Structure 1
């Protein structure tokens, strides 16, 4: 393991460690935004849902462009421009005092995230040898969750559900992350792999490449519903706990659930990934969808903290199955010269994150937070709609890879 870690590129380590600190500070601020808007500003669940949703909507609208542009003008320019803009957005959160301001700032938050994230993942793919990619992608995912273990607890102590001050700390950390990236690009940027794109392809061509991919398209559609289910954890569930008088301190319970979610990821990630890597590549996503759907039902049925915590563990196993193998799956499906485009296009599954807070907010408004089963069972069923698409992707990928093996065998016979 030590020898393998030594082969990880310095820029990859920068992204992994920067991701850890970035998620530490964002998880002590962003997850509490829906509670702050509801409790402090007095926004309705629907208004709060719309305000939360615009981040994902903005992200979906530009996530493709982030990966696409980075294929053309380079990862360095896109990453540095987006991260410093992102830092200024967090300053905007800290200064906001009205709902419409949060709406605008959260839109910009989604734009910056949607440009930076796919580009950073594409860079990890560029600079990591094939035999180490699963390790590096999972190190990044572990870094995300290591940050989230402590972020919500720190946010609770800083009063994130009642104050926007933690966003200022987030801005400072992202400025520091950007400065370290500047230094690392200066030291190691000349050794980055050169992509084989000889000319800038048209955007229409790039869209056609991914939309005509008979494996990638059902993966994209299926993961929209997976992300829809996952999106309720930080939006619908947070509001449900804060507004439901059955729970004495919903904000406190939610912060503990966030930390348990991250701790569970760190505990189960290695054994789950070690097991799941022996499965056909789409099967972990299918299982993940089932686990998340089941957990959503249990959230609605839970009458106290023990069942909520058990549901978080179940939900987290589903999350790990969905997201630890996602990058490897896209890397496996993508055409080599279009990796940034594929990583950007998969960001369209963020439509699920757009729908989640809106649907959850509407159900909370119309049914009331005391009707947990009536809220979460429909949400679980909508999540499960992704299963037919994922089964289709599994079948098509199996057929494609079997066909490739046959063609390689025939070629080897001819030249042998």
Structure 2
């Protein structure tokens, strides 16, 4: 309801150029890029409940801060903290879902999670069109209040089901792996590195939806703000309608196939934005891009789950936050390209960047398959001794 309109809010209430607005919005993903690993590892060591609840209460305060902030510096600091809270909460919640779900059903659970997010996003942009653009600060106040209520409900739920959430954990999985040793495991996982490189390129494209696209529509299309709200509603609505259908389709097919098809659709959506002067092109582009989104994002979570050792699941989901570099680079790069080359060439170049993700996804899956067959020597074993932690690769 509120954050997708932050770029427009900054343009209306501060005197900054599109590149600086994009940088401000991109600071949240940047913080998430480097803090997700920390949050995920802390959840492995101290439990999912502590990390999730703390992050959510802080997150509520961030949105209240957006409502009272006046200077661009405060918006930057708040969006940095916004990224930290997101990077702690999201990988921890995904790890918790994987903890308590049989492996064969996890793709559906990740699909349900993504569906739940988008159910809220169906009505959010329409409300944001009024409260976020016309009323300004109201949207942030509402969001902060909702997050605060959710934090309390989450705390009550996790307390009530505490036994059920921990009864499945074995003694081996309870062993804490320190930050340094966990970092060594992740750093030496070549499959993860290739996968993250591909995800970064794909996210550079996806980041344009909430940054470059609304500014471009506002400046070049009649009633561009209304069109942007409609596009966001189309995006979320299609996810709600098609998510489970496409999830059932993709769970019967190789992970790589879903990733490659989704990447091609991402690029095709950017291509439609590049063509578009008429509203129909933007609608078609959003429809195509959304189908790719449905295929890629739940499959991303499944691939990370496949890579992760059980006792480092939170750490791996946290490391997955490094793909947030794409969300950091995307707004500034997209804003600069559109400013320098115009919308046609700017979106076209972004589409070509997205296509490059296909190579890295393919390489990541290849390394993972070699490792699964015992053909790779990159299997990591973490062992602890009284004198310290060591890693064997």
TM-score when scaled to structure 1? 0.86
- The match for 1:222 is 198
CA deviation string 1:139-173 (max 9, x = no partner)? 11111111111100011122436612111111111
Give the Cα separation in 1 of the matches to 2:75 and 2:45.
Answer: 33
| Match among 56, 62, 72 for residue 89 of structure 1 | 62
Contact 1:282 1:393 in 2 (8 A): no
| Match among 279, 296, 300 for residue 322 of structure 1 | 296
Contact 2:200 2:323 in 1 (8 A): yes
Give the Cα separation in 2 of the matches to 1:66 and 1:161.
Answer: 36
Give the drift of 1:57. Answer: 0.7
- The match for 2:109 is 136
Secondary structure, aligned partner of 2:189: coil
After superposition, residues 346-357 of structure 1 pair within 5 angstroms as 346-357=320-331
Contact 1:86 1:109 in 2 (8 A): yes
Give the Cα separation in 2 of the matches to 1:161 and 1:365.
Answer: 26
Give the drift of 1:238. Answer: 1.3
Establish whether residue 335 from structure 1 lines up as the match of residue 335 from structure 2.
Answer: no
Establish whether residue 282 from structure 1 lines up as the match of residue 253 from structure 2.
Answer: no
Give the drift of 1:63. Answer: 0.7
Give the Cα separation in 2 of the matches to 1:198 and 1:116.
Answer: 20
Give the Cα separation in 2 of the matches to 1:192 and 1:374.
Answer: 50
Give the drift of 1:278. Answer: 2.1
- The match for 1:10 is none
CA deviation string 1:296-327 (max 9, x = no partner)? 12101111111110110000011111102121
Structure 1, 207-216 or 172-181: larger mean CA deviation:
207-216
CA deviation string 1:373-411 (max 9, x = no partner)? 12111111112221111111232233334449xxxxxxx
Contact 2:270 2:351 in 1 (8 A): yes
| Match among 229, 234, 239 for residue 265 of structure 1 | 239
- The match for 2:23 is 50
Give the Cα separation in 2 of the matches to 1:101 and 1:238.
Answer: 22
Give the Cα separation in 2 of the matches to 1:341 and 1:204.
Answer: 11
Secondary structure, aligned partner of 2:190: coil
After superposition, residues 284-323 of structure 1 pair within 5 angstroms as 284-323=258-297
CA deviation string 1:257-295 (max 9, x = no partner)? 000001111222222222222221122111111111111
Give the drift of 1:364. Answer: 3.3
Secondary structure, aligned partner of 2:161: helix
Give the Cα separation in 2 of the matches to 1:391 and 1:80.
Answer: 37
- The match for 1:380 is 351
Establish whether residue 36 from structure 1 lines up as the match of residue 9 from structure 2.
Answer: yes
Contact 1:40 1:162 in 2 (8 A): no
Contact 2:107 2:247 in 1 (8 A): no
CA deviation string 1:335-394 (max 9, x = no partner)? 111101110001100000000011012223334xxx221211111111222111111123
Aligned length: 372
Structure 1, 392-401 or 301-310: larger mean CA deviation:
392-401
Give the Cα separation in 2 of the matches to 1:160 and 1:152.
Answer: 10
TM-score when scaled to structure 2? 0.91
Give the drift of 1:207. Answer: 1.5
After superposition, residues 203-222 of structure 1 pair within 5 angstroms as 203-222=179-198
Residue ranges of structure 2 left out of the alignment (5+ in a row): 376-393
